[in-house]
Amino acid sequence: MQLFVGLGNPGAKYQGNRHNIGFMVLDEMARRHGFAPWRRRFQGETSEGNLGGERVILLRPLTFMNDSGISVQAAASFFKIAVGDIAVFHDELELPFSKVRVKVGGGIAGHNGLRSMSAHVGNEYRRVRLGIGHPGAKELVHNHVLSDFAKAERPQLEALVDAVTDNVALLADGRDSTFQNKVHLTMQAKGFTSKDDTGT
């Protein structure tokens, strides 16, 4: 059994924020792959289903971003899921918009959701880093992550969410590099390329 976590902030006010791309991906994943209806528990919402033959619990913490780890720890403890079987989908400032990278462990780069998760469950979980781009200056970051995706960005955002959702069974199967490459190729085929399309 695996736990897939989407990071974001609860409430309509934050729904379209860049910081909420993790929620967006999990919502589409549950819908597209026929997961069970969402249930309120573990200070969050869960949905259960199968991806590529693997049992997967989806979790959207409703604690607000800075306390996400509380919800993740509660769910992981209940289901007896090891930190290595947790994958978190989150916004990533250090990647160009719609770029995706998967890594295990590493730094948190100032991301408060990851900081909370690492404090509560340890650091060696998989991070599915969903690029939202950097606004260019540190003082602009807060407003950037808590602002909605622009109308002009919506087609690229929807293509990214679709590409991640279509290929997510590869993640459940532990084929992280293949997942990453498939998403990259799908985005390229749809005409969405970023400044860094080296595949590294």
Identify whether 120 is a catalytic site residue. Answer: no
Tell me how crowded residue 140 is: count the other CB atoms within 10 A of its CB: 12
Residue with tokens 């991906």: 25
How many whole angstroms separate alpha carbon 50 and alpha carbon 150? Answer: 33
128 φ/ψ angles, rounded to the nearest 5 degrees? -100, 100
How many whole angstroms separate alpha carbon 186 and alpha carbon 181? Answer: 8
Structure tokens at 101: 């990278």
- Given the residues 19, 33, 111, 184, select the one marked as catalytic: 19
What amino acid positions are annotated as catalytic residues?
19
